[in-house]
Amino acid sequence: MPFPSRASVSPKRPFYRRWPFGLAAAAVIGYGVISAMHWDDRGLLWIKEGFESQAERQESIWLPSYVVDIDAKPLPGMERDEASDLAFNPHTRSLFAVMGKHPFLVELTLDGDVLRKIPLVGWSNPEGVAILEDGQIAIVDERNHDLTLVKVDAATTSLNRADYQSHDLGEADEGNKGFEAIAWDLMRQRLVIGAERPPKMFTWGTDGRSPLKGEKQPLASDELDLRNLSALGIDPRTGHLLALSADSNMLLELDEKGEQVSFMTLLGGFNGLADTIPRAEGVAMDDQGNLYMVSEPNLFYRFKKN
């Protein structure tokens, strides 16, 4: 049988000619992932962190030094309720979490044990919660694009939205990807409110006791380079802001100027985490510097400074 001629054989590109295209494709994909996850920005921040003095670290929250001590503790009976945010109450020394899918508040101990559930009647999709003064709690409803101030005490068993005044936050940029983050800044006498995507922050001045007056104001921050903004928290000791992103698997610390100070990745193997936090939706810090998070569907985390 005659051998085929060279002309009848399909030429195969040598390995060294095929490799540059594959390498280029891998580089493009890799750069896309790095940009999407903002690992390039985190890399620069990680380098910057290395030059921070001990004094500067002590004056901040300094997230790299936190280690989880309660890791993915399930909130019993809430597997289908979608934990959406978390806030620390210094007066009761407890936590309040808001559940978005079946609206209710749940009060928790600092160990993540359930104390009580408070149904939220009339809310559509509560996503943010903040503790103010004199028993006032602010609840942000993402679907209704509003903020409602309610009163909660030891005798409260349910809350009806119709009994309280709601404040319009304006239309969201992307439908249901609207306002869902809120934190009470006692030092500066203001609420800090966050839009999920694209991440934006606003402030609303209040003493924490009186009804809200005026309108929310934009809070400029070029450092909020996250894929989305899931929740906000305030460190009551330093006044620094915590910005949580479920899509970026990231928690950022921002100073009073809105500049990045430190960060924590929420991936398994970092900060003592056994596994990646599935979808971090709430963050809070107590007056002792302990850090708390909740993740969908019903997981509770606590971090302490090492």
Confidence grade of residue 45 (pLDDT, cut at 50, 70, 90): low
Q: Compute the average pLDDT of residues 5-9.
A: 42
Its pTM stands at 0.84
pLDDT tens digits along 50-102: 656 666 767 899 999 999 999 999 999 999 999 999 999 999 999 999 999 89
Q: What is the pLDDT of residue 214?
A: 87
CA distances for 279 relative to 15, 152, 176, 197, angstroms: 42, 28, 17, 16
Domains of the chain in sequence order: 14-51 (no CATH), 54-305 (2.120.10.30)
